[in-house]
Amino acid sequence: MKVNIIVPCYNEEAVLTMFYEETAKVINSVQGYDFEFMFVNDGSKDRTLDIMKELAEKDERVKYISFSRNFGKESAMYAGLKNSKGDYVLIMDADLQHPPALIPQMISVMEEGYDCCATNRATRDNDSKLRQFFTNKFYGFVNKISDVDMPNGAGDFRMMSQKMVRAVVALSEVQRFSKGIFSWVGFDTKWISFEDVERAAGETKWSFWSLFKYAVQGITAFSTAPLKIATFIGSLISGVSFMYLLGIIIHTLAFGKDAPGYASLMAVMLFMGGMILLSIGIVGEYIAKMYIEVKRRPIYIIGKTNIEDPEDDYGDNK
Ligand code: UDP
Ligand code: MG
């Protein structure tokens, strides 16, 4: 049996060697499985790729894919999944926030016959209070409006069968939201939880703004509810306006002309203008997504790799 360990890395020179050593310790103690590291260098600007090459020279289980630029963690995971042919495939962060000590337990879950062993963080103590607040709000909202279930605290740290990996890879959208994709493809999943740990070294790559964009991405990728909400509010306002219009007509017929009303007129106009722009914005958000998707651009571009026969490459990878 073969297990691939996919590790997306962006500027992880501070922690990559430590990650490799810690993980190697664990997998060396697991009997009956061949492991392979699949490091994905996501356009790092530091020595991350050099470290990968050094590791590959020392240990033939180390494979790497290096992108031509930074494509984002979603693309890095996709490239890793697409190029992983093992029976089980594991995705892990490079910063040791995903404890390698869980690997034996995950393997035994897979042996029980599950297609996926997923993890969630029991606490989020190492995130800022503000980030925790918005994360909770986000998951509450997403789970209410979308078709798929995305448990709060669920990360990308999970082990999947090759069958499930093929299904995930078959969802080839360019704007990827893996948490939703994993849940959308289905299969028997067992959840285990682990204690939140701090990043071993280096810095988080997420700014508040990038998390916000990620949240919008998560909502629009798995739900068209915002469009329906816009339609609903639009019809509600139209209904109320129509009643009001009838009222004005009757009032005018009965009591004649009536000049005042500047304030109410302004209020209604501004409110309506705002609602119209908001709705157009929501529609635009989906059109923009369609625009990106219909271009069918590749999700990642390989610059260098030591894989024999990589998927979607353009040759001359050494
Ligand atoms: N990562 C990546 N590409 C990016 C940003 C992040 O491959 O553009 C990787 C990063 O190297 C790490 C993982 O994604 O292995 C998680 O990133 P990070 O630890 O910064 O996120 P956090 O744990 O704070 O959510
Ligand atoms: Mg991290």
Q: Is the residue at 286 inside a domain?
A: yes
Q: How far apart are CA 98 and CA 8, in angstroms?
A: 12
CB 116 within 8 A of CB 149: no
Q: Which atom of ligand 1 is nearest to the CA of 8?
A: 7
Beta strand residue intervals within 105-215, DSSP E: 116-121, 154-161, 189-194
Q: How far apart are CA 78 and CA 298, in angstroms?
A: 11
Q: Is the residue at 214 inside a domain?
A: no
Domain coverage including residue 238: 225-294
Q: Is the residue at 216 inside a domain?
A: no
Q: How far apart are CA 268 and CA 204, in angstroms?
A: 46
Q: Which of 11, 73, 198, 203 to mutate to test the pocket of ligand 1 (most atoms within 8 A of CB)?
A: 73
- CA 117, 215, 196, 37 dihedral sign is positive
C-alpha 93 – ligand 2 centre gap (Å): 6
Are residues 143 and 13 located together in one domain of the fold? yes
Q: Is the residue at 219 inside a domain?
A: no
Q: Is the residue at 116 inside a domain?
A: yes
Cβ–ligand 1 distance for 206 under 6 Å, the answer: yes
Cβ–ligand 1 distance for 123 under 6 Å, the answer: no
C-alpha 160 – ligand 2 centre gap (Å): 21
Q: Is the residue at 185 inside a domain?
A: yes
Cβ–ligand 1 distance for 76 under 6 Å, the answer: yes
- What region does 144 belong to: left with phi over 0, alpha with psi -120 to 50, or beta? alpha
C-alpha 12 – ligand 1 centre gap (Å): 9
CA end-to-end span of the chain: 28
Cβ–ligand 1 distance for 95 under 6 Å, the answer: yes
- Structural element, H or E, at residue 88: strand 88-91
Domain CATH number, residue 195: 3.90.550.10
Give me the pLDDT at residue 160, please: 96
- Structural element, H or E, at residue 90: strand 88-91
Give me the pLDDT at residue 145, please: 79
Are residues 229 and 173 located together in one domain of the fold? no
Q: Which atom of ligand 1 is nearest to the CA of 94?
A: 15
Nearest residue (CA) to ligand 1, atom 2: 73
Are residues 287 and 183 located together in one domain of the fold? no
Mean pLDDT, consecutive 10-residue segments, the chain of 318 residues?
95 93 93 94 94 94 94 94 95 92 94 93 75 82 79 85 96 89 91 83 78 81 84 85 85 80 80 84 88 92 88 77
C-alpha 93 – ligand 1 centre gap (Å): 7
3-class state of residue 209 by DSSP: helix
Are residues 42 and 171 located together in one domain of the fold? yes
Q: How far apart are CA 233 and CA 271, in angstroms?
A: 12
Q: How far apart are CA 16 and CA 22, in angstroms?
A: 10
C-alpha 208 – ligand 2 centre gap (Å): 14
Q: Which atom of ligand 1 is nearest to the CA of 72?
A: 8
∠ CA(266), CA(269), CA(271), 5° rounding?
A: 105
Count of domains forming the chain: 2
Are residues 284 and 312 located together in one domain of the fold? no
Are residues 178 and 313 located together in one domain of the fold? yes
Q: How far apart are CA 204 and CA 211, in angstroms?
A: 12
Are residues 20 and 138 located together in one domain of the fold? yes
Reading the block at residue 239, the tokens are: 């209904």
Give me the pLDDT at residue 57, please: 93
Q: Which atom of ligand 1 is nearest to the CA of 12?
A: 11
Give me the pLDDT at residue 12, please: 92
Q: How far apart are CA 109 and CA 122, in angstroms?
A: 19
Are residues 259 and 180 located together in one domain of the fold? no
3-class state of residue 38 by DSSP: strand
Are residues 133 and 280 located together in one domain of the fold? no
